[in-house]
Structures are given as C-alpha cells and as structure tokens.
Chain A
Amino acid sequence: MDCQNFSDSQLVYKSIENSIYFECLYKKYEYKLTRFVSRNSNFGTEIIQDILQDAFIKIWKNIRDFDDSQSFSTWAYRIVYNETVSYWRKSTSFGKNKTKDISNFLNLSAENNELSFEKEEKVMRIINKLPQKYKSVLILKYFEDMGYEEISDVLQIPEGTVATHLNRARKMFFEVANNMNVSFID
C-alpha cells in the first residue's frame, strides 16, 4: 500500500472506511512519537510502546472528532503527551526499575538529529532535571521544532504561557547546567 500519495487528513478519513490506512498514520509518526515520549519521560522501551498503543487506540476511537483545521501531527502529539502524563501519574516506581537505557534512546535519535550523541546526552541530562512543564516546552521547541502555536495546541495552554514557560525553562536550563558543571563549548 502506498501511503505517500495521501495527506494526513486524507489518511484520517480513509482510516474510518478502512483501518489499513490507519497503519499508514501509525508508521508515519511512530518514530517521532516514540522519540517524543522517550525525551519527555524516563520510561523504558516497553512502556513507551504501551503508551503509543494506548494513544493510538484513543486516536482510533476519537478519529471522527478530528478537526482538520489543525494538523493530525499536533493532534497526535497532544494525545500522546496526555497519555504520557497519565502513565507518569500512574507510575509509582517511576525512575527506578522502568528507566530507559540511555544508549537505546541515543540510537533512536541518531538518525536525524543534528546534535552529536555526546551533546544530546548532556542536554537530556539537564532537561531531565527540569520540572515537567518546562521540560515539555523545551523538547517541543528544540527537538520537535514546533512553533508557539503548535506547542500551545499540544500542551493545551495559551501561547503566552508557552512563551513564559520557554523563558523560564531556558533560564533554569543554564542554571542547572552551571550547577552540574556542564559546558557546551566544543
């Protein structure tokens, strides 16, 4: 099946008629969303897969509620983000047994990330120390390359709040970097 000939919106509407097209959507976003969940949490691969499964089941159930005035990508990110937060809340042993293997994560992100492994590892070590709300905006802005409006749609917060969180996140990022004696000068 050739998924390339269809836009996301077309795939959404075709999915309702034939669930085979749903696979196109999944395949298209699997890598990006896996990486997004991974960066936003300390979950291991299995849990990340569970999160994606649950998120895509939600997408399937609510597919008729998709509003084509916004992109499928933003909608999917939002559902995946909410699912991640929900898992994070449910997880009582978060950060202990279920933490991801950093090398897995680096392998995942190696394909199309401009940052070197070493630099990305440093950045993620700092980002992981930030509160969730700041962590999410930084990841969406700098790793997912989203604009304020898209971030606002994914996190469901006003654009002004996105800007405020980003400012605070940047400041906090450098404070944490200083405290950890991490330098970004090559």
Chain B
Amino acid sequence: MENFEKIINRIQKEDIQPIKKWVFRTRDLFVAFVFFTSLLLGSISFSIILYAIKQSDFQIINHFYHSKIETFLVILPYFWLILLLFFTVLAFIGFKGFKKSYKFSFVSTLSLNFLLSVIIGTMIFISGGSQLLERKFADNVNMYQSLAEYKRKIWLNPDKGLLAGEIFKANEKFIYIKDFDKKIWKINLVKETFILPMVDLIKGEQVKLTGKKLNDSTFEADMIRPWGGIEKIRKKNRKN
C-alpha cells in the first residue's frame, strides 16, 4: 500500500477533520489578548513604581549611617516590582505565541517587552494616571497597603530617628506636632536644625523630621521637610 493511501485511510478511519478556522482565530485572539493585557498591566506596574519612587524619601537612606543598603531595600516597592516582572514574563509568553515571534531572539523579545512597559508606563506616570490607579487599587484591595500608608509607617519610627505629623503649635525653640497615630510630640529646635526654606512652621503644616528621640514625647530635629515632598514644593512655587 502506498504511503498516501495509508494517510487517507487513517483520515477516513479516524474521521480526522481539518480544524475549523474559528479555532485558530480564537487562539490568535487569545494570544494577542494575553500579550496586550500583560503589556498594559506591566506598564501600569512600572508607572506606579515611578510614582512610588517619587513618593519615597530616598534621602532617609542617608539618615541611616550604618544600614543604607538595608534601608534602600526596605523602601523599594517590591509588590509592584514583582508585578512588573510577572507581567513582563507573561507578555513574553504571549509574544512567543505570535506566528512570527521566532524571528526575535530571547534577549531582544524580553528587552522589547520591558522597553514597551517602560515607555507606556512613563506616559501613564506623566499623565498622572499612576497616582489614580494606585489609589483605586488601595481602595479596592483589602490586603494591599497603599504607598501613602506605607510612607506614613516608615515615618512613624521615632526610635530610628524618623517622625512625621501635623504642626499644631510652634515657637522659635519648639514645635508641637501630632503624629499620624495622634500622639503629641514636643520637637526641640536646636542651632543645627536645618529647616527647608519651603517649610512654614505654622499650625496645620504637615512635616517630616529626621533626628533623635530624647524620651517618649520629645524629639530633637536635625532636619525638617514638608510632608508632601516635591509635590508640595511645586504647589508652593505655583502659589508664589
């Protein structure tokens, strides 16, 4: 029996039919969906990392003279970094599902995916979308600790020389602040205390301080900065 006869016999005996066109279309659509969705979610993750960097006070690293790397590692936005990695890999897998994807090497495919996430993520960040998305995420996911909460937590560490809160009374030598746990602190202003020019030591101003804890309710400040960081400075400049 000729080989082709065997093929035809098998096709007839096992009733092998060509797979329907829509199956291939659905597969292609699914691949495209996985790729583009992962790319978008990876980009959002990247944009929130940028927002986290903007929010984070990387200057506090300098405050911890003995554990700069440790501090740096503590304030990294791991959750979003892991999400970025996860979606980059998922986008890579999705991309590999495209018919001509083998034309690109492993390194160029992965780099291309990452680069696209960086570009789109930066655009989301610049347009202000990352803050909005992060807030939405924090509101809707119970387990998630928002970057704002995380920032507050970091700055509620008087034992490590970090404190933040709202000024409710001030004079030349002292200020009194209410931290985010509603605890009252007396802050000693000494000769060496550096107060950033954009900080107004007036009631209602939110500030963050580095220095040292003297006792359970007294803190000596090395530096006083606005709580809102760069954003706050910009707002003030706009007002002026």
Contact = CB atoms under 8 A, between A and B. Distances in A.
Interface in A1-41: 16, 19, 23, 26-27, 30
Given A16-B18, A152-B102, A158-B104, A60 B11 contact: yes
A146 to B, nearest CB: 16
A186 interface: no
B18 A160 contact: no
Given A159-B103, A161-B105, A61 B10 contact: no
B150 to A, nearest CB: 43
A53 B18 contact: no
Contacts of B16: 57, 60-61
Interface in B1-48: 3-4, 6-8, 10-11, 16-21, 24
Nearest to B24: A65
B18 A26 contact: no
B66 interface: no
B99 interface: yes
A158 B7 contact: no
Given A67-B99, A158-B103, A159-B103, A61 B19 contact: yes
Contact of B7 (A53, A156, A159): A53
Contacts of B21: 64
B24 A64 contact: yes
Interface string A60-84: 1111110100000000000000000
A49 B3 contact: yes
A81 to B, nearest CB: 13
Contact of A26 (B4, B20, B99): B4
B28 to A, nearest CB: 9
Contacts of A30: 3-4
B65 to A, nearest CB: 50
A23 B4 contact: yes
A52 interface: yes
B10 A53 contact: yes
- Interface centre among B10, B16, B18, B105, by most A CB within 10 Å? B18
Given A30-B3, A52-B3, A65 B19 contact: yes
Given A64-B20, A64-B24, A57 B11 contact: yes
A152 B99 CA distance: 13
Nearest to A26: B4
A64 B27 CA distance: 13
Interface of A: 16, 19, 23, 26-27, 30, 49, 52-53, 56-57, 60-65, 67, 152, 156-161
The 7 closest A-B pairs by CB, nearest first: A156-B102, A65-B24, A64-B21, A63-B18, A26-B4, A158-B105, A49-B3
Given A64-B20, A67-B99, 16 more contacts: A23-B4, A23-B8, A26-B3, A26-B4, A26-B7, A56-B7, A57-B7, A60-B7, A60-B18, A61-B16, A63-B18, A64-B18, A64-B19, A158-B103, A159-B103, A160-B105
